[in-house]
């Protein structure tokens, strides 16, 4: 894992963001799947790859008391559950999104695909519920569409 952390600087990632990421990874060091986040952050070819992994780590670290796993493979859509948290007796799956989504066909198709995949996971008893967790509050027009299409979402507040 340390070799992967050393690679982070290759995409001109600001030092303070690397330090925050390392602090969050330290909080998560005993959680199943943390190595996947580190590997993805370190091997991405663009700054956005790092930012996505860093957001997953930040969100997971903020929920570390109830955290079950990171990057849990689903064998379907979504390909993995970014953050799996136990709330009471229920397992809640989170798909973390660092980038700003709009209302383009591509963005809406991705959100619907995630919703449909999580609905299937609910039907199969893998999770009790799910949320797409955005780093920042989505645009109002996107919120209206997600609400009308029963896409479960929230945004991160530290």
Phi/psi for 134 (5° steps) reads: -90, 145
* DSSP symbol at 13: -
Q: Where are the domains of the chain?
A: 1-62, 66-158
Q: For residue 13, what pLDDT band results from cuts at 50, 70 and 90?
A: confident
Q: What is the tens place of the pLDDT at every residue in 49-63?
A: 889 999 999 999 999
Is the pLDDT score of 1 beyond 80?
no
pTM of this structure: 0.90
> 75-128 pLDDT, tens per residue?
877 889 999 999 999 999 999 999 989 999 999 999 999 999 999 999 999 999
Hey, CA dihedral for 78, 80, 85, 91, is it positive or negative?
positive
66-158, CATH topology level:
Trna Endonuclease; Chain: A, domain 1 (3.40.1350)
């Amino acid at each position: 894992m340390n070799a992967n952390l050393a690679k982070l600087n290759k995409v001109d990632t600001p030092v303070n963001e690397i330090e925050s990421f390392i602090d969050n990874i330290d909080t998560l060091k005993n959680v199943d799947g943390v190595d996947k986040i580190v590997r993805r952050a370190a091997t991405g070819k663009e700054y956005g790859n790092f930012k996505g992994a860093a957001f997953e780590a930040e969100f997971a670290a903020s929920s570390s008391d109830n955290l079950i796993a990171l990057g849990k493979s689903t064998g379907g859509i979504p390909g993995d559950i970014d953050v799996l948290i136990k709330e009471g007796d229920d397992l809640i799956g989170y798909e973390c999104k660092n980038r700003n989504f709009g209302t383009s066909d591509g963005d809406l198709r991705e959100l619907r695909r995630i919703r449909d995949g999580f609905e299937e996971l609910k039907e199969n008893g893998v999770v009790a519920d799910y949320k797409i967790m955005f780093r920042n509050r989505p645009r109002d027009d996107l919120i209206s569409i997600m609400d009308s299409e029963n896409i479960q979402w929230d945004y991160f507040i530290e």
